[in-house]
Amino acid sequence: MKKEYTYLDELTDKSKNYKVKVNVIQKARPKQSPGKKKRQQLIFEDEKGNIMRGAIFEDDIPIFEEAIQRNGEYEISDAVIAPVPVQFQKKPNEFQMNLNRRIKLIRPY
């Protein structure tokens, strides 16, 4: 029997066709650094206690403004998993989940 959810520590930039169940433990205000894209940072936690950063960029930020709330529990499918730039990694080979308008987002609880 196939398990229903993938855990955050199992995701890599090669992950496709996955579904995670996460709690949003942090949702920062959108920021724009000079010469950089506008970005909003999120921190996700799964039921095993695994933590993963998330990011929403530019025009996708307003789409998730009300849809994702701090302390909300969500089912997210097929977001882009990308390596965290080396200078920002807190541990080797760290990945982040980039949310955009093409993902499937469900608030199951």
50 within some domain: yes
> What is the domain range of residue 19?
8-28+40-101
59 within some domain: yes
Rounded mean pLDDT, 78-96: 90
- The number of folded domains in the chain is 1
Please spell the DSSP secondary structure of the chain, one letter per residue.
---S---GGG--TT--S-EEEEEEEEEPPPB--TTS--EEEEEEE-TT--EEEEEEEGGGHHHHTTTS-TT-EEEEESPEEEEPPGGG-SSTT-EEEEE-TTSEEE---
Q: What's the pLDDT at 1?
A: 45
79 within some domain: yes
Q: What's the pLDDT at 109?
A: 59
Which domain CATH number covers 46?
2.40.50.140
Task: Summarize pLDDT for 38-48 with one digit per residue, the tens.
Answer: 999 999 999 99
48 within some domain: yes
